[in-house]
Structures are given as C-alpha cells and as structure tokens.
A and B are shown apart, each in its own frame.
Chain A
C-alpha cells in the first residue's frame, strides 16, 4: 500500500534519481564481473591459441608470448599424424548427417502434419521415443549389428547411416508446420499442387530459420561424435578428428604439445564457421519454437 502511494505521488522523480545512482554503481560492477568471467572462460582457449603458435622450444616453457610457428606446428601433424585426413572425415560425417537429418525430418513432419492415416499416433510415438535411446546406451548391440551383421566396420556408412533419423528435427518441423495456416495448403492443393511440391516451393522457403537452427545443433552434434567412431573404426583412414586428438596426444613417446594445440584449434574452426554463418537463423528459429 505504502509503496503504491509513493509511486503515485512523489515516487516518480525520487525513483528516477535513485535508479540513476544505483544504475551507475551497478553498471561498473556488471562490466567488471563480465570481463572477469569472460577472461576465465576464454583463458584455456587463449592459452591453446598462444601455445599453438610457439616454436617447440617455447611450448613447454611458461612463456605466454605468441610466436609465428602455427603453420609449422600444424603441417607437422597435418600429414604425418593424419590430422588432415581426420578433418576431412569429420567434415564428410557432419555434412552428410546434417543434410540427411534435415531432409528425413522434413519429409516425416510433412506426413505428420498434412496427412490423416491409420497408426499415425503410434508412428509419432515411435519417432519421439527414440529420444530415450542415445547411442551410448545401444552401443554394445549396435556394434554387433554394424560390424558383424552389416560388415560396415571401417566405412563411412557405419558413422553416418545410423544417425540419419532425427526425433528433434521431426518434432521441431512439425511444430513449425502447425503454425503455418492450413488455408495456405488448402489453396495450394486446390491449385493442383502435390505434397512434395508444396514442401519444396512453400514450406521450405518459410522454414529457413528452423532449418538453420536445427542445422547448427545437428552439425555440432555430429562433429563432436566421439565414442561411436572410437569403437567402430579400427582403421585410422576413416577416423574422425575428435578421436584423432587422442591419437595426436598418444603419438608415442613425447607428445608434441604445440602441434596438439594447433590441432585442437583447427578442430574448433568448422563448428565456429557454421555457428557464425547461421547465428541469426539460430536465435530466430529458436525463439520461434520457444513461443509454442
């Protein structure tokens, strides 16, 4: 009660003044807190960046001045330790999985939103329930299936095909399609447009934000894959870069830390590119799904 009266009568100027003072004090603290936090969070990355540029004689010293040996460090492992090969394999994996998941979940969402058919509820439940079964939990049986029954060990198929379906993707596209007025689809159908044409000409152009947001999540997820490639790929020719980092460290005898740091930095670049390129879609597409 008293608070209301104050706000009504003399409150406004008083509040304004108090707020200005408080804001001023607080802004300074906010800046300081953010700077300290960002420094602490970035410190390991800055450290890796510096060490990756130093000559091997400096890498093991506490010296924290950047050098000019980044490409020397990198070229040492790019071919000899197969880092280039690992990067290529990871790119094949991440791009195939991202594109495949996007197409398959667009098609599945199309069926779920624009068709009426028997057992629809069951089919949707089967897609959603797969969220409860991450690879790590299935890995024992999946290993038997892929290596012994399908004989896919040491192939790209082994690290790509099992991951092409996406419950998250299907779910997000379904939500997004349900927000698009039905009248649009009705009009398209009356004009003689079939479902596939409707998907490619109307739905996809209206879904770029969702597609972009999903692409970021799926690319990073595929790029970070570790345990499955580790067990299913025995031959290093198809190995992915995350497991490759472990190979770089275990290269036998003395670890070349400058080269390992260069490798770690290079491994971060593709997800950074994807993230930077799709940042707008990512936040917009995400905001859209938050509304639901």
Chain B
C-alpha cells in the first residue's frame, strides 16, 4: 500500500506541527458544526445570559425586570448568610479533597503491593465507583436516622447514646463531609491505581537496593512521581466537592440544620438552587452563578498553569 517514495514525504509533515492530511475548507466545519452548535446554544448563550440576568432584578408575580447594575453582587457579598455559605463550602471542600485524596492514595498504594489477593482487593476497592451522590445520600439517610437507623441502634444498645445526627449542625456537617469522601473514594482509587502501576519499577527497585525503607520509598520516590496525577485529582475533586455535593445534601440534609445565618450544610450550589428555584430570586441566583463562574474559571486557569509547569517524569 505504502509506496517507497511516500516515506521521505511524510517526514517533514510529522515534524511540522500542522499535520493537515485531508483538504477542504468547508469539510472541517461540517464535522465541528454539531459540537460547536450545541456548545454555542446550551453553554455560551446561557453563560452570557447569566451575566445579563445578574444585573437585573426580576419580579416573578408582576413579570417585570429592572436593571440594578451591581446591586445583586453587593447585596450578596454583604449578606452574612451568603458569607457563611461560602465559608462552609470552603471548609467542606478542603476537608473532602485532602482527606479523600490521602485515604485513596494510601489504599491504592497498599492494594498495589505484591501480595496475594491484590487483584481482589483492587476490585473491591473500585466497584463503589457505581455509587451516585444521590444513592450515597439515600443510604446514609437511613443509616443515620436517629430512631430507626442502624448506627443509633448500635450506639444506643452499647453506650446508650442516640445522637441527633441530622439536627445537630456540627454532626450534620461532619456526616455530609464523610459521605462525600466515601462517595469519591473509588474514583480517586481508580486513578491512583492506574498511575501506581505505571510507575517506573527500576527506580523503586534502585531505592530499595540502596536500603530505603518502605515508608521512604513511598514518600521520597513514589509520592513525587505521582505529583501529576495528584494535581489532576485535586482539581477534579474540588469541582466534585463544589457541584456533586448538591444531590448528597439535597437528599441527606436539605441544607440544614439551621445555624447562625444559614443551614450548616448549605453549600454554594444548594444556595443557588434555593434562590433560583425555591425562592424565585432570579437576579440573586444569577449573581451567585456569575460568582461561581469566576471561581471555576480561576480553578481551571490554575489547573492549566500548574499542568504546564509540571515536571515530566516519563521514560
């Protein structure tokens, strides 16, 4: 098939960054059209519309809209309730991302040791990937039900305590955090397992021969080599903590219990949903959406910056 004289021709094309093979001016746009059309209509148009709505105050009953400039934003940033929600989201995100990644890395490392049954351990660790945030919320709602939940039945019979898990602010917050970590564990383990298997074996062996202990091999050799995947997971986990927590809290706590100026487990997206679809404060909700947009843009920008600066450890 491949003619001999074709070979010298291919060399320069692979070296040049542009690797155009097929010709046609309209054809690439035909292939791109479905994707670009969907993105334009269902992503970029709503994004612009969100920014516009954030500058208006709508009255659902009268059906009117009034331009208010930045008033929605200033109100939001001055509101003690929104500040509390933002702070709670920050604490929740830091806790789930750090504890979640640490436990996932530890377990993936243990399950990657050359021990009997390692394959079974790995399988058992990653099958909860099929868990959705809504299922996680449903199971924990039953488990931690104060009267009929198994946890309180055990605690009650052993220590005669029956904590009101979902009515006590600190307990509810801790419970949601734990459930979120539990839900995300399998996803993180999948990625860590794959990366650990791709680690250069000779480097680790060299460290062991040089007398490094197991802990030293892990912290001094493996952990630095896993930096790229850890960064990737930190960013995906931040996004998951910000957005996936909605279904979990909507089923488990409904944002409650109330403490200070807002529900103890009300996070940014839950507040957005409440204002947009329960209280019908479209302008305030759009302003929150615009703020979140800026937040996600910042996180993505950080991800690309960190990604660019990453050292390449590949073979």
Residues of A whose CB lies within 8 Å of any CB of B are 3-4, 6-7, 11, 15, 19, 22, 26-27, 30-31, 33-34, 37-38, 41-42, 44-45, 47-48, 51, 60, 62, 64, 104-105, 107-108, 110-117, 120, 123, 126-127, 130-134, 136-145, 161-166, 170, 178, 181-183, 185-187, 189-191, 194-195, 198, 220, 223-224, 226-227, 230-231, 242-243, 245-246, 249, 257, 260-261, 264, 267-269, 271-272, 275, 282-283, 286-287, 290-291
Contacts and interface: CB of A to CB of B under 8 A. Distances in A.
B21 A260 contact: no
Contacts of A185: 21-22
Interface stretch (B29-37, B88-96, B255-263): B29-37
Nearest to A14: B211
Given A123-B36, A182-B21, A242-B134, A136 B124 contact: no
Contacts of A4: 210
Interface string B160-194: 00000000000000000000001001000011001
A267 B132 contact: yes
Given A19-B208, A231-B277, A45 B292 contact: no
B113 interface: yes
User: What band does the interface of chain B fall in when counting residues whose beta carbon is under 8 Å from A?
Assistant: 35 or more
Interface string B11-44: 0011000111111110111011011101101111
Given A133-B293, A162-B43, A224-B247, 12 more contacts: A34-B111, A37-B103, A137-B296, A138-B42, A144-B49, A183-B2, A226-B132, A245-B251, A268-B135, A271-B130, A283-B194, A287-B197
Contacts of B45: 141, 145
Contacts, number: 294
Q: Is the interface of A mostly helix, strand, loop or mixed?
A: helix
Nearest to B286: A140
A21 B230 CA distance: 32
A189 to B, nearest CB: 6
B203 interface: no
Contact of A138 (B34, B43, B273): B43
B20 A116 contact: yes
B228 to A, nearest CB: 8
B206 to A, nearest CB: 10
Given A37-B107, A291-B314, A145 B46 contact: yes
By Cβ-Cβ distance, the 8 closest A-B pairs, closest first, are A116-B20, A141-B49, A162-B42, A226-B247, A141-B46, A115-B28, A111-B28, A165-B38
15 contacts: A7-B210, A34-B121, A38-B124, A47-B143, A48-B139, A141-B45, A183-B7, A186-B13, A220-B129, A220-B130, A226-B247, A227-B246, A246-B134, A257-B148, A267-B132
Contacts of B49: 141, 144-145
Contact of B10 (A170, A182, A220): A182
A271 B289 CA distance: 30
Contact of A223 (B113, B132, B185, B229): B132
B281 to A, nearest CB: 10
Which of B107, B132, B293 has the largest number of chain A CB atoms within 10 A? B132
Nearest to A193: B22
B36 A161 contact: no
A11 B277 CA distance: 70
B282 interface: yes
Given A34-B121, A134-B239, A260-B142, A3 B211 contact: yes
B300 interface: yes
A48 B135 CA distance: 10
Interface in B73-107: 103, 107
Given A3-B210, A117-B25, A271-B129, A47 B32 contact: no
Nearest to A103: B34
Contact of B32 (A111, A131, A267): A111
A189 B10 CA distance: 13
B201 interface: no
A127 B39 contact: yes
Contacts of A164: 34, 38
A140 B53 contact: yes
A234 to B, nearest CB: 11
Given A42-B124, A133-B296, A227-B273, A138 B50 contact: yes
A224 B50 contact: no
Contacts of B117: 31
